Amino acid sequence: MKIWIDADAAPREVKEIVFKASARLKIPVVMVANQSIWFPPSTSLISCVAVRHGANEADKYIVDHAQLGDMAITADIPLAAQLVDKKVFVVDPRGEEYDDRNVVGRLAARDLFDAARGAGMEVSGQQPYNPKDRAAFASTFDRVLTRAIKAHSRRNDKRGSTDNP
């Protein structure tokens, strides 16, 4: 099991929460971005992949490498939809979990707002990341990570494996 971070736009607070969980639970974290991203050098559990510049290159990398039961952190709804299709647990940095019940609706809403902006309508963007968002992310992240670890353990028990959580 790994935790993937769509790192180009992930808030520092989100990364810190994930890094602490990684250290506590010994779960590898892979940050993927279009540029080099700082991460704590004191652990071999955290790595960064800098993909070539271009639209959606980081997304493509995550989709190509994430596996069933992994977890991903992204605010990118099209990426979230692709990962949900792969049975990856997905959480938005503001604390929303994406799953097969809600990601299609969120994708449709996103497309509607994009079309409205493209037609010249003024549509408000997201507010700055704040402590309420951080708290919502931490709560959802802990809940979903616990489910992901349990699902991973059940799969390993069925296979007789004893690797990391």
Sorted by where each starts, the structural domains of the chain and their CATH numbers stand as: 3-154 (3.40.50)
CA dist 113 and 105 (Å) reads: 12
DSSP 94-152: TSPEE-TTTHHHHHHHHHHHHHHHHTT-----PPPP-HHHHHHHHHHHHHHHHHHHHHH
pLDDT, average across residues 40-66? 88
The amino acid sitting at 87 is K
- 75-94 per-position pLDDT tens digit: 998 999 999 999 999 999 99
Q: Which pLDDT does position 148 carry in this prediction?
A: 96
Provide the pLDDT for residue 140: 98
Q: Which tops the pLDDT comparison, 136 or 161?
A: 136
| Max avg pLDDT among 55-59, 62-66, 98-102 | 62-66
Q: Please, which residues have CB within 8 angstroms of residue 116's CB and are 6 or more apart in sequence?
A: 123
User: For the whole model, what pTM was predicted?
Assistant: 0.84
Stretch among 38-47, 116-125, 136-145 having the lowest mean pLDDT: 116-125
**pLDDT score at 110:** 54
Q: What is the pLDDT of residues 102-120, one digit of tens each?
A: 776 666 555 555 655 566 7
Report the side by side order of strands in the sheet with 89-91.
46-50, 29-33, 3-6, 71-73, 89-91, 97-98
